[in-house]
């Protein structure tokens, strides 16, 4: 008999006795859209803060569909094709290029000391934000969705045709943004690169079977790993730009930024590899890792209030409590 407590990606706690009710497919899809948008934009950062959503409710709809169309496509592709970690990384890179290099324009507008530039492009910022989107915008929301709805963990939500239609709308919007932009030359190049990377990711062969030899860290270790990756992200993206690098040679600042980026990739890559390929990753592991990350983002919204995130605990505290409750229930169920 197959052990049903394996990966939340391949088998999860889905069993023939508890299949998802397909008549709720559209409701689940809409919930997925909002989960995929809110996690990177409102739970882990205050880019689309609670205050901003209150003043401009349309922003919530925008992030739900902008993130949702793309991430749900990747999530369903993981289920259908059993994506390799290389493919998932490339899908994340493609999304990061389009998000920050085409639509948000932060590659060209973020100006800080201690960062390297290529023409108008802040290379350090581009690399750091691309790493952010690979893991915080693609990998983590998918893992969170599978943990919240384990009965859907191995079931595609949308049929292939409609999934590609939504993906086409996503690329159409990004293409229009690239051509209607004050940095038009750069955004068209970045959009073209993102498309090429996406096509390359689609053509990477499916991953091999899960590996019984990949050891999964203890629950408390995964919580600490989640804490570490979020603190490292905050330090790289927000603390380094505040340092007065007039006191140091420029190359010291650039090398420090590269080192921290590599550390972030190693930490995230470790979690991603086990999540995709280990036989022993369960829903509890996903929840533990996510809890560690949200613990820090929630703490920061409480102890470091400023105008933009003044209402952010309205989103972060319930998110953290939900993770803790689900983690506790999951551990009690299988221990």
| pLDDT recorded at residue 13 | 34
DSSP 283-296: HHHHHHHHHHHHHH
Res. 335: pLDDT tops 80? no
Stretch 12-28: mean pLDDT, rounded? 60
Cα(317)–Cα(2) distance, rounded to whole angstroms?
A: 37
Which is more confident, 330 or 173? 173
**Is-above-0.85 flag for pTM?**
yes
Using alpha carbons only, give the angle 323, 222, 271 rounded to the nearest 5 degrees: 105
| pLDDT recorded at residue 86 | 87
| pLDDT recorded at residue 7 | 43
Work out the percent of the chain whose per-residue pLDDT is above 90.
46
Cβ proximity of 287 and 262 under 8 Å: no
Q: Residue 117 forms beta bridges with which residues?
A: 122
Under the banding of pLDDT at 50, 70 and 90, the label for residue 216 is confident
Task: Sketch the domain layout of the chain as residue ranges.
Answer: 22-334
**pLDDT, tens digit (0-9, with 9 covering 90-100), for 199-211:** 999 998 876 555 5
Stretch 131-144: mean pLDDT, rounded? 93
Which is more confident, 112 or 167? 167
82 CB contacts (<8 Å, ≥6 apart)? 10, 206, 207
| pLDDT recorded at residue 236 | 81
Element holding 71 (H helix, E strand): helix 58-81
Cα(40)–Cα(290) distance, rounded to whole angstroms?
A: 12
């Amino acid at each position: 008999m197959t052990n049903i407590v394996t990966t939340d990606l391949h088998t999860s706690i889905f069993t023939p006795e508890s299949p998802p009710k397909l008549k709720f497919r559209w409701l689940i899809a809409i919930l997925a859209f909002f989960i995929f948008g809110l996690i990177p934009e409102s739970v882990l950062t205050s880019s689309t803060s609670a205050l901003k959503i209150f003043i401009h409710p349309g922003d919530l709809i925008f992030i739900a569909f902008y993130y949702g169309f793309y991430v749900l496509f990747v999530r369903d592709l993981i289920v259908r094709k059993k994506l390799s970690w290389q493919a998932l990384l490339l899908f994340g890179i493609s999304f990061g290029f389009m998000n920050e290099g085409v639509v948000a324009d932060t590659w060209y507008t973020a100006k800080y000391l201690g960062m390297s530039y290529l023409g108008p492009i802040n290379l350090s910022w581009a690399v750091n934000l691309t790493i952010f989107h690979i893991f915080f915008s693609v990998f983590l929301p998918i893992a969170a969705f599978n943990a919240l709805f384990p009965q859907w963990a191995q079931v595609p939500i949308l049929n292939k045709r409609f999934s590609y239609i939504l993906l086409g709308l996503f690329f159409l919007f990004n293409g229009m943004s690239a051509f209607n932009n004050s940095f038009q030359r750069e955004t068209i190049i970045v959009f073209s690169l993102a498309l090429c990377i996406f096509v390359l990711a689609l053509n990477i062969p499916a991953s091999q079977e899960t590996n019984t030899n990949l050891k999964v860290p203890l629950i408390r270790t995964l919580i600490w790993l989640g804490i570490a990756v979020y603190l490292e992200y905050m330090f790289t993206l927000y603390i380094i730009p505040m340092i007065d690098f007039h006191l140091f040679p420029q190359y010291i600042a650039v090398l420090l930024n590269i080192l921290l980026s590599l550390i972030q990739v190693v930490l995230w890559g470790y979690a991603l590899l086990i999540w995709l390929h280990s036989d022993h990753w369960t829903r509890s592991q996903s929840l533990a890792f996510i809890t560690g990350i949200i613990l820090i983002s929630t703490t920061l919204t409480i102890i470091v209030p400023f105008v933009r995130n003044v209402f952010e605990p309205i989103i972060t505290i319930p998110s953290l409590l939900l993770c803790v409750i689900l983690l506790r229930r999951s551990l009690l169920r299988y221990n």
